[in-house]
Amino acid sequence: MNDGTVPFDCDVFVIGGGPAGATVAALLARAGRSVLLAEKARHPRFHVGESLLPANAPLFDQLGVRDAVERIGMRKLGVQFVSPDHAHTTRLAFAEGWDPLLDRAWQVRRAELDRILFDRAQQDGARTLEGCRVRSVAFDAAGVDIEADAEAGFDAENAERRRWRARYLIDASGRDTLLANQFAIKQKNPRHNSSALFGHFEQAERGSGDREGDITIFWFAHGWFWYIPLADGSVSVGAVCWPYYLKSRTKPLPEFFADTIALSPPLAQRLAKARLIDGKVYATGNYAYSASRCTGERYVMLGDAFTFVDPVFSSGVYMAMHGAFEAAALIATHLDEPAKAPAARRRFEQYMRRAPREFSWFIFRMTNPAMRGFFMNPHNPLGVKSAVLSLLAGDIHRGTPIWASLGVFKALYYIASALQPRRAWQAWWRRRRNIQGAGSVPGENVQPG
């Protein structure tokens, strides 16, 4: 254990160069902090999670990267829903939400977006390291010691062990969840249990005009699909499935993915003339989890390093970046006014759980027939449709008065379920059975098959 006399290499050490880590590094460096940002891979690197929310736009504005995002992104003005129980497609436009300024987002290649944010942190004064995988951290009364394997040039086989000492640590390591694993505080979400298969297609059917960039959600018997058009003409397609379905696989992943797509005829029609790019299909398992805390005496966990929820509402990048903005203020309190830090941490813990909680209420019910009915046949009594659209846009923390209308929506949902008790009970039992006994699938942390 360090005795506290070793000099510090930086004020803040950030693990992970994705949206959370790069954003908080940029903000802290702008504020005059000494920041070291370490990314295990080298940008550009593949990452799933291509669909953004309108609430990302103000964050991009504050970072000064909105123009760059618009250059790489496909404009996204709404979301479409396709149900096997309905003959029509429903489209919800973000402009129908309570805040007309949150009327658009983008679909992006994450390799390009993450490169933009990483470069922004470097331009704002953060020292950046790529090919640097943090192996362990150790805390003492004065700071934190970090140990990592850093590649020599581009030669991963000749990585050398490096050590740094910092006043404060930010874990933005994504689904590696470095601190949550080290502290043994990572918990699978007991109410949600799913896995995903996904790949990219070219020559797929796309919409036209303002609808070309819409994300489409297709429900099917074993879960749901995403369909995300990208600016380069390709389309990202993924199936989020219950564990029992993934366990049934007896053939190579690309063939199993093709069979899964065939279970949704409207999706299969869109992909009838499409080709799977490079023949690659990716898989990831044990989707939803959370750490029991996200802060401590000298650390904070951000983005997927803290919690991951089902991506049906494309909330991941927004929650990661928004959390980074809040964390920058928390870290300033810790470094400048340490006596106020315990209270600031308690507030931060409560704040960071709000967005996952609000999104999760809808996520847990997305496969319920009553919820599907609301999305396929939306109405706006007392502003409920506008309020739900505001939530889908990520308008959770901006003070927009959507909560009374969301309360009405939830009441209507419970009433609809109570009026059809047999169907509601069957849906509850089916979900309870589906989330039991998840097994891993090839590629726990996103691997091609």
Indicate if 161 and 305 belong to the same structural domain: yes
Residue 3 lies in a domain: no
Count of domains observed in the chain: 2
Of residues 244 and 268, the one with the higher pLDDT is 268
Residues pairing with 429 in the sheet: none
> Is pLDDT above 80 for 32?
yes
DSSP letter for each residue of 37-56: EEESS-SS---S--B--TTH
Indicate if 345 and 400 belong to the same structural domain: no
Indicate if 222 and 267 belong to the same structural domain: yes
34-48, 164-178, 419-433: the lowest-pLDDT one? 419-433
* CATH number, domain containing residue 87: 3.30.9.100
- Predicted pLDDT of residue 424: 64
The answer to whether 391 touches 362, Cβ cutoff 8 Å, is: yes
Per the prediction, the chain carries an average pLDDT of 90
The answer to whether 68 touches 162, Cβ cutoff 8 Å, is: no
For residue 139, give every residue at least 6 positions away whose Cβ sits within 8 Å of its Cβ, in sequence order, or none: 145, 169, 296, 297, 298, 299
**Beta strand pairing call for 89-93 and 282-284:** unpaired
> Is pLDDT above 70 for 168?
yes
Condensed to tens digits (0 to 9), the pLDDT of residues 340-384 reads: 999 999 999 999 999 999 998 998 888 788 888 899 999 999 999
Confidence at 446, pLDDT banded by 50, 70, 90? very low
Confidence at 309, pLDDT banded by 50, 70, 90? confident
| Residue 382 tokens, joined | 């007392």
Q: Centre a 10 Å sphere on the Cβ of residue 207 and count the other Cβ atoms it contains.
A: 14
Condensed to tens digits (0 to 9), the pLDDT of residues 107-161 reads: 999 999 999 999 999 999 999 999 999 999 999 999 999 999 987 555 556 678 8
> Is pLDDT above 80 for 234?
yes
**Beta strand pairing call for 186-188 and 155-171:** unpaired
* CATH number, domain containing residue 337: 3.50.50.60
> Is pLDDT above 80 for 299?
yes
Residue 418 lies in a domain: yes
- Predicted pLDDT of residue 298: 96
- Predicted pLDDT of residue 437: 45
Indicate if 337 and 384 belong to the same structural domain: no
- Predicted pLDDT of residue 1: 46
Phi, psi of 13 (to 5 degrees): -110, 125
Condensed to tens digits (0 to 9), the pLDDT of residues 210-221 reads: 999 999 999 998
> Is pLDDT above 60 for 25?
yes
Confidence at 284, pLDDT banded by 50, 70, 90? confident
> Is pLDDT above 80 for 101?
yes
Residue 331 lies in a domain: yes
CA distance 105 to 56: 7
Q: Centre a 10 Å sphere on the Cβ of residue 39 and count the other Cβ atoms it contains.
A: 25
Q: For residue 35, what are the domain limits?
A: 10-72+110-189+289-359
Indicate if 419 and 320 belong to the same structural domain: no
In the chain, % helix, strand, coil (3-state, to 5) comes to 40, 25, 35
Quote the percentage of the chain above a pLDDT of 90: 74
Q: Is 233 left (phi over 0), alpha (psi -120 to 50) or beta?
A: left
> Is pLDDT above 80 for 4?
no
139-153, 246-260, 426-440: the lowest-pLDDT one? 426-440
What mean pLDDT is predicted for residues 385-389? 96
Give, as one character, the DSSP assignment of residue 7: P
Q: Does the predicted model carry a pTM greater than 0.75?
A: yes
Residue 1 lies in a domain: no
Indicate if 37 and 167 belong to the same structural domain: yes
Counting beta carbons within 10 angstroms of the beta carbon of residue 346, is it exposed (0 to 12), middle (13 to 18) or buried (19 or more)? exposed
- Predicted pLDDT of residue 429: 63
